[in-house]
Amino acid sequence: MKPVRIIRSKTVVLPNRDIDTDQIIAARFLTTTSKEGLGQSAFYDLRYNKDGSEKADFILNRPESKGCGILVAGNNFGCGSSREHAPWALLDYGFEAVISTEIADIFRSNSLKNGLVAIVVDAATHNWLLENPGADMTIDVESTTIALPNGRTVDFEIDGFARYCLLEGIDQLGFLRNQLDNIERFEEARTWKP
Amino acid sequence: MSTPLTLFEKVWADHVVVEETVDTPAVLYIDLHIIHEVTTPQAFSVLRKNKLPVRRPELTLPTLDHSTPTTPVNTFKDLLVAGEGAANQVRQMERNCEEFGLDLLGYGSGKRGIVHVIGPELGATQPGKTIVCGDSHSSTHGAFGALAFGIGTTEVGHVLATQCLLQRKPKTFAVNVEGALPPGVTAKDLILAVIGKIGVDGGTGHVIEYRGDAIRALSMEERMTICNMSIEGGARAGMIAPDETTIEYLRGRPRVPQGAAWDAAVARWRTLRTDDGAAFDKSVTIDASGLAPMVTFGTNPGMVIGIDEPVPESNDASFRKALDYMQLVPGTRMTEAPVDVVFVGSCTNGRLSDIEAAARILEGRQVADGVRMLVVPGSEQVKADAESRGLHRIIQAAGAEWREAGCSMCIGMNGDIAQPGQLSVSTSNRNFEGRQGVGARTVLASPATAAASAIAGYIADPRKYL
Ligand code: SF4
């Protein structure tokens, strides 16, 4: 994973609540054995007509959305399936962060492990973001703050370990493998074996 | 006296290898890791790249379910029914298992099936275990008093390589269900009612424990239906304390401990209950006796009503979008909606008792003209059991299709899909837009409601067919 420290970008807003992982990446695109190239299938049924042409009125297809790296979404983003293809698809599409008032547990955990910064903000900040699509802002993972173009700075919470891994670009598998002595001791000391 | 603990806290504490701190999550030991073809290929690639073996192959249970066809498979060509990508994924899984020394319950094993159906069926799912799988419905295994949750592919790699996960301790949520379910109202209706009450994000950050008389009265298969859909309420896991019902279900299954070890295990399992006075972070109480068969009307499982209630109204934009997608009008009844497809199956309702419930209603009746009904057993074992009881004949005589085991139309990865605009009454767990095919409209219901709807050609109240 690449280190993630500062994200500077305009936002794109998908205001709907409960955007599930099936909408982010539909199951028919999961028959892949790699992580690459999923971006073209992100939000497929929202982005494309049946004949494969782009839906002109869908926000991601509008010219002002091109190159936006921050996705602002309605409450409870990423609910549903555990498919890590969802953050892979968003990252491959070009998103670096997603902001909502609530983000589903597994999606959030998957996102942070891949360097997609999943941020939960308070309702007032969220409303401001919904009402100001295209806001040019800066996310600072180190100070866990968002600098809004109106001059306000908002703090956000992120698990300390996830933050450390983002900043250093740390792969958690390496961290876990450093625990192997402890794991072996645990296995030996158990009073019952699975 | 020591502090009273919840069931979850006991199982959690028993698996902490390294305690969590402010800076680092806990290292949690995993007793059973179930894997399938869709969410593992990238994890095996990581092992290969780092030249790592699977650390505990004997705690890893691989099968094939998500992208397998529900037509018979004897050759690679038969796999292509599900599409080339799906077929390659199955082949890749077979190769990965061979390379890493894993005992795949695949074709020819007679034990292949949906990850959450075969774990319990084999007795690999046991009280007090930690169980994970790269599938969010891993919560199913919590029906046995296990701590079971879905993980992403990166974490699948972590468990394969270390048998551990990095986890923050979730909060606890007690869902108390009092009273008794009325006749014709099933576990599926109960869990849909629970999700309707707590909302699709009500359980976020929490592990639910289902408690109360109505839960105690359920069979193991019904308890699995309940715990299965915990994730639909946003919870990581759902648990039910083991009791005599649990022990009797497990007795004699192939992968439970034998002899003296069985007695020791049972003694340990009996301690796995929430102590009197233990505190939950939150709780809710539901009365089961007032429930009716439930059906969803929207595009998430929390948008649910009793079958005799009108479709509600709201000005919320997401709500209206959902109703538009479903082509439903507030104030109308779901029983006015004509049905195109009926699906009985999935890890929610694809076990023997579910197929029996559907067959009981189908017996001596005919699926309505123009309705396609698919009955898909959750595992090869379920299929064999159902056939030994002659259920397949009842199902076929009614005009429904009897298929091979797999996830099938629950996720629509294998070619089993509904067409755009079609209305599907489904015993699965997700009515998301496009889940069962682009533009397909899904109504979640119990196997009894699904079968009754197949016969009526409209969404139907199963109590009229009992
Ligand atoms: S039946 Fe559906 S929910 Fe269950 S494991 Fe398969 S795809 Fe997932």
Could you give the ipTM of this predicted complex?
0.93
Residue B139's Cβ-side half-sphere holds a number of Cα atoms within 13 Å equal to 30
Distance between CA atoms of residues A78 and A106, nearest Å: 8
CB burial readout A32-56, b (16+ within 10 A) else e: bbebeebbebbbbbbbbeeeeeeee
Sheet strand arrangement including B441-444: B401-402, B372-375, B341-344, B423-426, B441-444
Query: What percent of chain B is predicted at pLDDT more than 90?
Result: 98
Chain A touched by B193 (CB under 8 Å): no
- Nearest-neighbour CA in chain B from A69: distance (Å): 23
- Nearest-neighbour CA in chain B from A50: distance (Å): 9
What residues of B are in contact with residue A102 (Cβ under 8 Å)? 201, 204
The DSSP secondary-structure symbol of A48 reads B
What residues of B are in contact with residue A26 (Cβ under 8 Å)? 434, 438
CB contact under 8 A, A194 and B134: no
SS3 call for B326: helix
DSSP β-ladder status, B372-375 and B441-444: unpaired
CB contact under 8 A, B151 and A159: no
Nearest to B42 among A35, A104, A172 (CB): A35
- Nearest-neighbour CA in chain B from A151: distance (Å): 30
Ligand 1 close to Cβ of residue B115 (< 6 A): yes
Closest atom, ligand 1, to C-alpha of B346? 1
To test the contact with chain A by mutation, choose from B147, B153, B263, B266 the residue with the greatest count of A C-beta atoms within 10 A, namely B153
Tokens 């306000």 locate to A152
Query: Over the stretch A74-126, which tens digit does the pLDDT of each residue have?
Result: 999 999 999 999 999 999 999 999 999 999 999 999 999 999 999 999 999 99
Closest atom, ligand 1, to C-alpha of B137? 3
Query: Over the stretch B237-287, which tens digit does the pLDDT of each residue have?
Result: 999 999 999 999 999 999 999 999 999 999 999 999 999 999 999 999 999
The DSSP secondary-structure symbol of A91 reads H
CB contact under 8 A, A179 and B50: no
SS3 call for B441: strand
Domain residue ranges of chain A, discontinuous segments joined by +:
6-189
Atom 4 of ligand 1, residue of closest alpha carbon = B347
Q: What's chain B's length in residues? A: 466
Distance between CA atoms of residues A146 and A161, nearest Å: 19
Query: Over the stretch B371-417, which tens digit does the pLDDT of each residue have?
Result: 999 999 999 999 999 999 999 999 999 999 999 999 999 998 888 99
Residues near B302 by beta carbon (within 8 Å), at least 6 away in sequence: B195, B196, B198, B199, B200, B232, B233
Phi, then psi, of B394 in degrees rounded to 5: -60, -45
What residues of A are in contact with residue B268 (Cβ under 8 Å)? 192
Distance between CA atoms of residues B332 and B310, nearest Å: 5
Q: Which amino acid is at B16?
A: V
Dig out the tokens for B50 from the structure: 């780092």
Residue B189: count other Cβ atoms within 10 Å of its Cβ: 27
Distance between CA atoms of residues B60 and B54, nearest Å: 9
Query: Over the stretch B336-375, which tens digit does the pLDDT of each residue have?
Result: 999 999 999 999 999 999 999 999 999 999 999 999 999 9
Torsion of CA B74, B78, B83, B87, to 10 degrees: 20
Class of A6-189 in CATH: alpha beta
Strand partners, B63: B105
Tokens 């497929």 locate to A44
DSSP β-ladder status, A97-100 and A70-73: parallel
Residue A116: count other Cβ atoms within 10 Å of its Cβ: 23
Would you put residue B390 in left (φ > 0), alpha (ψ -120 to 50) or beta? left
Distance between CA atoms of residues B435 and B442, nearest Å: 8
Give the residue from B384, B383, B121 showing the smallest Cα distance to B250. B121
Closest atom, ligand 1, to C-alpha of B378? 1
Dig out the tokens for A132 from the structure: 């100001």
To test the contact with chain B by mutation, choose from A20, A45, A59, A79 the residue with the greatest count of B C-beta atoms within 10 A, namely A79
SS3 call for B205: coil
Q: Which amino acid is at B343?
A: F
Chain A touched by B153 (CB under 8 Å): yes
- Nearest-neighbour CA in chain B from A84: distance (Å): 5
Distance between CA atoms of residues B68 and B380, nearest Å: 13
CA distances from B464 to B215, B445, B451 (A): 25, 15, 12
Q: Where are the beta strands (DSSP E) in B139-264?
A: 147-150, 164-167, 171-178, 206-211, 237-239
Residue B119: count other Cβ atoms within 10 Å of its Cβ: 30
Closest chain A CA to residue B128: A194
Distance between CA atoms of residues B416 and B432, nearest Å: 16
The DSSP secondary-structure symbol of B113 reads B
pLDDT by position in tens, chain B (length 466): 589 999 999 999 999 999 999 999 999 999 999 999 999 999 999 999 999 999 999 999 999 999 999 999 998 899 998 999 999 999 999 999 999 999 999 999 999 999 999 999 999 999 999 999 999 999 999 999 999 999 999 999 999 999 999 999 999 999 999 999 999 999 999 999 999 999 999 999 999 999 999 999 999 999 999 999 999 999 999 999 999 999 999 999 999 999 999 999 999 999 999 999 999 999 999 999 999 999 999 999 999 999 999 999 999 999 999 999 999 999 999 999 999 999 999 999 999 999 999 999 999 999 999 999 999 999 999 999 999 999 999 999 999 999 999 999 999 888 899 999 999 999 999 999 999 999 999 999 999 999 999 999 999 999 999 8
CA distances from A93 to A80, A90, A98, B118, B453 (A): 20, 5, 13, 36, 41
Q: What is the pTM of this model?
A: 0.96
SS3 call for A83: coil
Distance between CA atoms of residues A133 and A10, nearest Å: 8
